[in-house]
Structure 1
C-alpha cells in the first residue's frame, strides 16, 4: 500500500477518542448525540450546526496562528506600524491589511484546499435531514464542494450582504456564510467588523438558539462578538453541544456551561474529522458515493436530459451506453479488499475482523500469515486497534480485575493485530497506553514494565515520533514512585530529551521530571515553552498534578497559570 494511501486511510479509519488514558465518560457520548439527532427529526426540529476554522484545518486551511505567520512573512511592510506584540495578534494584523490583501492571503489556500471528512460528514447529515442549516464563520467553499460530491445542492446565503431581518425567507437545506465568502464582496476579518456584524444578527441568533438544537464545532468562541450573542440569548430552550479540541472546558466558556449545565454540554478532546465521521457512522448515513459508486453515478446521469440534435426536436441519449456500463458495474461483486474498506469507512470494525478471520481461518490457527495480502493485513490490524478502543470505552466500571474476560479480550485484539502487522507503530503505542492506564489504576509495577516494553517496540519501529518517548518517560517517572528508586527519573529524562529533540514544543513531561530532581529553573523554562506553544494540559490538571505540588507553593507559578 502506498504511503499516501496509508495516510488517507488512517484519517478515515482513525476511531474517535483513540486513546486509553481514562475510563471516564463524557456526559454525552457521540452515540447519545446521534440518538438525540434522530429524535430531533421525528420532532420536526433538526439540528443547526455552527462551524469554525477547526472544521477546515485538515483540508489545508490554516488556523489563525498560521495565518499570522504568513501575514508577517508576506506583508511585512503593511504590518510595519504594528508593535511586536500586535504582530502576533490575528485581529490587529488583519486590520492592517486592505480587503484585497486579505483576499489574496486566503485565496491560495482555498484554491488548494481538499475536501476533508468533517465536511463530508456535514454534507451527509444535511443530505439525510439530520441538519437543515449550517452556519459557518469560514470563507471557504469546502462544504459546498462536499455537498456537490454527493449530489446535494443546498441554498447558499452570504449574511454580509443579506437582510438578516428576512430570515424567514431562508430556504433549507442551507449554508449560511456569517462572515462572507472567499469570492464575495465582503469578508469580515477584524474584531470590530465581526462584533458589529454579530450585533446586527442578534434577532437571528436568538431565534436560532431557541427554535432548534445546536451543535458548535471547530469554533473557539474566544474574544468573539458572536459568542457574546450566544451567551446573551441562549436560555436552555433547546439543547446545545459544543465540540472542542481542548479536553477540558476553556476558561472563557466555563461560566456559560456552569450556568446551563443541564442543557449545554462541552464535548472535549475532539478532532472535527473524527467527530463527524463517528457521528455519520452512528447515524448510518455514509453517502453511497463511497460504498455504491455505480448507483451514485447512475442517479446523477439520470438527471441529464437527452443530447439535442441540430435542426430537429428530437434528441439522442448519448449517455445510454455509459448508464448501461454503470448498471453492469453495479452488478459486479466487490473485491474482498473493497468490501473491507467500505466496512472500515462505516465504522464496522467487528465485521472487518469477522470477515478476515472467516476467510483465513486456517492461517490464524497456524499463525502463518504469508498468504494474506498486505493491504488486508493493514486493514485488519487497524480494525483490531479501533475495536479494542471501543471495547475499552465500553468498560464503565473502574473496579475490575486484570484477568477480567473483557480486559483479556482487548489484549487478544492487540495480539492478533501484532500477528498480522508486527511492524505497525500504532499497535504497540495503543497497547502501551492501555497497559499504562491499567498500571495507574492498579499501581502495578508489572503492568508499567509491560507497557514500557510496548513503547520500546514502537520506538524501534519509528524513532521519529514523540508519543512513545513521552509515554515511556511518564512510565519511568511512575516506576520511580512505586519502586522508591529515583534512578528511574534519570532514565525518564533520557527519553524525554529525545522527544524534545524531535518536537521541542511538547515538553510538559520533561518539566515534571525536572521538578522531581529539584531542577526548578529547568522545569520553569520547559513550562514556559509549553505555554508559548499552547501545549500545556488544562488548568485544572496543572492544579492537581502531584508532580507540580512543590511549584504550586511558588508565587511565580500561580502567576504563570492565572491567565490560562
Structure 2
C-alpha cells in the first residue's frame, strides 16, 4: 500500500468513526444515515485487500468443516462463527464467490441441526447467500437453490433451478443428486425422474488424455553471483 493510499484510508476511517459518534447523539432517522455512511467508510477501508479477504474465507472454510465433526451445541456455535467470517469476507470483497456459496452452505447445515421452528428462517438466510453467488457468477449456486426449494416443497422452483444448474455446469452427477437428502420431497415426482433419466441417457464426457511433457529442470533465468550484484543499483 502506498503512503498516499494509507493516508486516504486513515482519513476515511477517521470520518467513519466520527459518523458513529455523531449517530449516537442523533434521532433515529439521522442516526441511520450516519451509521450507513460509517459502514460504507469502514468497508472501503478494508476493501481491495485480497490477502485479508482470503484469510477470512479460509478461516470460515476451516470452521465450516470443523463444525461437522462436533456435537450439536458446539457445532451451532462454530457454524455461526464460520458464517460471520464468510459475511465479513463478502464485506471486504463483495464478489468473493466461495464465501457466498459456503456461507449459504453453512446456513443450510446449521438449519439441519437447529430446532424445527428456526429452520425456515435459516434456509431463507442460506437462500440470500446463494442468490448473491448467482449474481456473482450466474448459475453457480443454482443447485443449492434447487435444494432449498425442494425442502420447501416448491417443485416448480426446484425444477427451474435444477435445469439452470445443468445449463451452467454446476449440477452434481446423478448419483450425488439421488443421494442428496435435501431432494427427498421431489424424488417421487414425475418431472424429477424424467430429469434424472435424461441425465443418465447423456453420453459420458470425453476426457482428453494428457500428453507427457518434457520438463526442463534448468531455470529460465540466471542469478548473478553475489559479489557481482550491486544491491543499490
- Report the TM-score when normalising by structure 2: 0.57
Which residue of 2 is the match for residue 241 of structure 1? none
Distance change in 2, residues 1:412/1:516 (3 Å) = same
After superposition, give the CA deviation of every residue in 1:200-232 in whole Å (9 maximum; x if it has no partner).
Answer: xxxxxxxxxxxxxxxxxxxxxxxxxxxxxxxxx
Query: Residue 533 of structure 1: CA displacement?
Result: 4.6
Alignment gaps of 5+ in structure 1: 1-334, 337-359, 481-487, 535-564
Which residue of 2 is the match for residue 421 of structure 1? 93
After superposition, give the CA deviation of every residue in 1:339-381 in whole Å (9 maximum; x if it has no partner).
Answer: xxxxxxxxxxxxxxxxxxxxx986996432334562x1x2212
Contact 1:425 1:458 in 2 (8 A): yes
- 1:450 equivalent to 2:116? Answer no
Cα distance in 1 for partners of 2:98, 2:132 equals 10
Cα distance in 2 for partners of 1:385, 1:433 equals 13
Cα distance in 1 for partners of 2:75, 2:65 equals 16
Which residue of 1 is the match for residue 145 of structure 2? 472
- 1:437 equivalent to 2:112? Answer no
Which residue of 2 is the match for residue 459 of structure 1? 134
Query: Residue 407 of structure 1: CA displacement?
Result: 3.5
Which residue of 2 is the match for residue 370 of structure 1? 44
After superposition, give the CA deviation of every residue in 1:125-151 in whole Å (9 maximum; x if it has no partner).
Answer: xxxxxxxxxxxxxxxxxxxxxxxxxxx
* Aligned mate of 2:198, from 521, 525, 530: 525
SS state at 2:106 partner: helix
Which residue of 2 is the match for residue 319 of structure 1? none
Query: Residue 454 of structure 1: CA displacement?
Result: 0.9
After superposition, give the CA deviation of every residue in 1:15-57 in whole Å (9 maximum; x if it has no partner).
Answer: xxxxxxxxxxxxxxxxxxxxxxxxxxxxxxxxxxxxxxxxxxx
Distance change in 2, residues 1:364/1:380 (3 Å) = farther
* Aligned mate of 2:65, from 378, 388, 393: 393
Contact 1:476 1:489 in 2 (8 A): yes
Cα distance in 2 for partners of 1:391, 1:400 equals 14
- 1:501 equivalent to 2:167? Answer yes
Cα distance in 1 for partners of 2:148, 2:66 equals 25
After superposition, give the CA deviation of every residue in 1:212-267 in whole Å (9 maximum; x if it has no partner).
Answer: xxxxxxxxxxxxxxxxxxxxxxxxxxxxxxxxxxxxxxxxxxxxxxxxxxxxxxxx
SS state at 2:197 partner: helix
Distance change in 2, residues 1:504/1:436 (3 Å) = closer
Contact 2:90 2:96 in 1 (8 A): yes
After superposition, give the CA deviation of every residue in 1:268-297 in whole Å (9 maximum; x if it has no partner).
Answer: xxxxxxxxxxxxxxxxxxxxxxxxxxxxxx
Alignment gaps of 5+ in structure 2: 3-11, 18-37, 207-233
Structural RMSD (CA): 3.5
Cα distance in 2 for partners of 1:418, 1:379 equals 13
Which structure: greater strand fraction? Answer: 1
Cα distance in 2 for partners of 1:469, 1:363 equals 40
Distance change in 2, residues 1:516/1:441 (3 Å) = farther
Contact 2:13 2:45 in 1 (8 A): no
Paired residues, what number?
Answer: 164
Query: Residue 514 of structure 1: CA displacement?
Result: 6.5
Contact 1:414 1:427 in 2 (8 A): yes
Query: Residue 383 of structure 1: CA displacement?
Result: 1.1
Cα distance in 2 for partners of 1:458, 1:504 equals 12
Contact 1:428 1:455 in 2 (8 A): yes
Higher relative contact order (CA 8 A, sep 6+): 1
